[in-house]
Structure 1
Amino acid sequence: MTMGRNTYEAWIPEEDSSEVIQRVDQMSAVESLASPEPMSSNTKSIPRSAGVGVSVVDKGGAYSEDTSTNDDIVLTAKKLGKAIRIAEEDIDDSLANILTTKQKDWATSYAKLLDNATLAVSAAVGTGVPFESVYYTLTQANAGLGYTANDNITVAGSAGPSYDDLSAVLGKAEGGDYFDLSRMVVIAHPSFRATLRAVKDLQGQPIFVQGQQGDRGTPDTLFDLPVRWSLGCRISATATDAPSGKPILVVANADFLRLGRRSGPESIFIDGRDGLSALTDESILKMRARRAFALGHPKAAAVLVGI
């Protein structure tokens, strides 16, 4: 979206075909793969079913009743945004559209921050931590869901992820009731690419196959599962667009990556010729998105921690 030199009275949402939305979808695995949940308020409760059992019913016999317990997941929208000061001279003198450039730069950082916050943050919700990430969720015990802390986390050895490590982490996700081959995805930090290219099975065949790029391309695959790469997949104590901890590889049923969408990405431009900013000849571009996230069930995902 190209923004003119006007003061807007309301936030302007990005159109689906805008360069900002295209950049976010390209850079954020969670934004493009997770199961979307439209939100019309700050919070939304969505059901988490424990499943329904089936048993044999003899002719003329009584149906047994299902005893599975159900609960819900509460999605709470958090604001992810930034204000950008731009000198009036840069707007007037620049041959390129500096506002469009800043919007695309924000989209790149937003994509990394969102993936980091939803997949790799190691702490509970609090200051700087908007959601319970997949990694954090898998480190916590949940007796009600029958999950033991760290059960679905595999830590690579000092030499880096091996064939056994990669097979083990996929096995964690494949061994539960939440495996669905048509919906399973791998999301990993790009630093895993070099390791994966060198790993082969007992027949000497690569387990990682690079896809064909382009409009009609095919994704990279690991053990035949599609792989998306994310720069946000590094462990960090708080959500950041520049994580520096150990890289992780996430295997998950995408239906259980629940992404609440309250609003945005959207922007507002405050002209430097109005208001307090008029004293400095600077305009302000603010950009934000309001998102919520939860992992639907800890057994629907597994994580491999790299080196």
Structure 2
Amino acid sequence: MARNTYEAWIPEEDSSEVIQRVDQMSAVEALASPESMSSNTKSIPRSAGVGVAVVDKGGAYSEDTSTNDDIVLTAKKLGKAIRIAEEDIDDSLANILATKQKDWATSYAKLLDNATLAVSAAPGAGVPFASVYYTLTQTDAALGYTANDNVTVAASGGVTYNNLSDTLGDVEGGDYFDLSRTVVIAHPSFRGVLRTIKDDQGQPVFVQGQGGDRGTPDTLFDLPCRWSLGCRVSATATDAPTGKPVLIVANADYLRLGRRSGPESIFIDGRDGLSALTDESILKMRARRAFALSHPKAAAILLGV
């Protein structure tokens, strides 16, 4: 098999299997509002809205007093180095590099969703972003939000119709509700539970979509559902979370995903440098992303059992 040596990071093309796998596996990459970043940080405005009042004929217009501020997105690098024996590259009939790239894409998708949606700790070591879960468990007096206002916890008996209704109601009752942009993101373990829940008329609240990714999506109370293996609570960002499953209802416009670069890769040939002593080549893959929930009242969480 021919071997190529690259001297720079090679970005994945939009049609590549890596990008397709990421879009398929990551709810955040697929649904969040994207922000292009040309530097490590980017400040984006957060408007507090504009009021409207009745103006009498010939009367003076009252001035809006809403307070505006901004959010700073800071890009963090999510990556991995993969060491591959030259014999595996030379002897394998399959393209082992392409296989490893797709495997990385799967793990990256789960890690990104976990880091942005379900990590319980503040940003720091092993925690790149303030996740939706973390944000909703903190008080933000400036925004008029009290810790856990938009968090519903299922009892030990399991998720109920009222749990789901309360979670949606937390978003629907606020100023940031937009039916056309509201989405549900949940761990797949909710699927079995949701299939058993019906409303007072005996109608299922969860309807499975038809036609796969290109057909109609799964819906919960008529809202589109996306499933993410990263939606389990974790103390730090991981591609294999094991905590309680999470269901999130959010206005996707307020899930702000900064894209600095990637996914991209670089191949370091085993015949060059120190790696030449081991007959091993190194494939490095990375993506630089930033994330913020731009207003806590635009999202709500149901914590499963």
**TM superposition score normalised by structure 1:** 0.98
Residue in structure 2 matched with residue 10 of structure 1 by the alignment: 8
TM-aligned CA deviation for residue 215 of structure 1 = 5.9
Identity of aligned residues (%): 87
Residue in structure 2 matched with residue 98 of structure 1 by the alignment: 96
* Unmatched 5+ stretches in structure 2: none
Residue in structure 1 matched with residue 261 of structure 2 by the alignment: 263
Matches within 5 A, 1:210-289: 210-214=208-212, 216-289=214-287
Q: Which amino acid aligns with 1:239?
A: A
- Counterpart-to-counterpart distance in 1, 2:160 and 2:299: 19
- Counterpart-to-counterpart distance in 2, 1:155 and 1:215: 30
Q: Which amino acid aligns with 2:290?
A: A
Give CA deviations for 1:279-302 in whole Å, capped at 9, x if unaligned. Answer: 000000000000000001000000
**TM superposition score normalised by structure 2:** 0.99
TM-aligned CA deviation for residue 266 of structure 1 = 0.1
The answer as to whether partners of 1:6 and 1:270 remain within 8 angstroms in 2 is no
Q: Which amino acid aligns with 1:60?
A: G
Q: 1:175 to 1:212 in 2, by over 3 A?
A: same
* Unmatched 5+ stretches in structure 1: none
- Counterpart-to-counterpart distance in 2, 1:170 and 1:56: 32
TM-aligned CA deviation for residue 216 of structure 1 = 4.0
Q: 2:51 aligns with which of 50, 53, 72?
A: 53
Number of residue-to-residue matches in the alignment = 305
Q: 1:124 aligns with which of 108, 115, 122?
A: 122
Residue in structure 1 matched with residue 149 of structure 2 by the alignment: 151
- Counterpart-to-counterpart distance in 1, 2:143 and 2:136: 12
Residue in structure 2 matched with residue 195 of structure 1 by the alignment: 193
Give CA deviations for 1:210-266 in whole Å, capped at 9, x if unaligned. Answer: 000236410000000000000000000000000000000000000000000000000
- Counterpart-to-counterpart distance in 2, 1:257 and 1:175: 18
- Counterpart-to-counterpart distance in 2, 1:170 and 1:95: 51
Residue in structure 2 matched with residue 38 of structure 1 by the alignment: 36
Secondary structure, aligned partner of 2:179: coil
Tell whether 2:173 aligns with 1:175.
yes
- Counterpart-to-counterpart distance in 1, 2:157 and 2:25: 29
Secondary structure, aligned partner of 1:234: coil
- Counterpart-to-counterpart distance in 2, 1:221 and 1:86: 42
Q: Which amino acid aligns with 2:216?
A: T
Matches within 5 A, 1:66-105: 66-105=64-103
The answer as to whether partners of 1:269 and 1:283 remain within 8 angstroms in 2 is yes
Q: Which runs of 4+ in 1 moved over 6 A?
A: none
Tell whether 2:203 aligns with 1:205.
yes
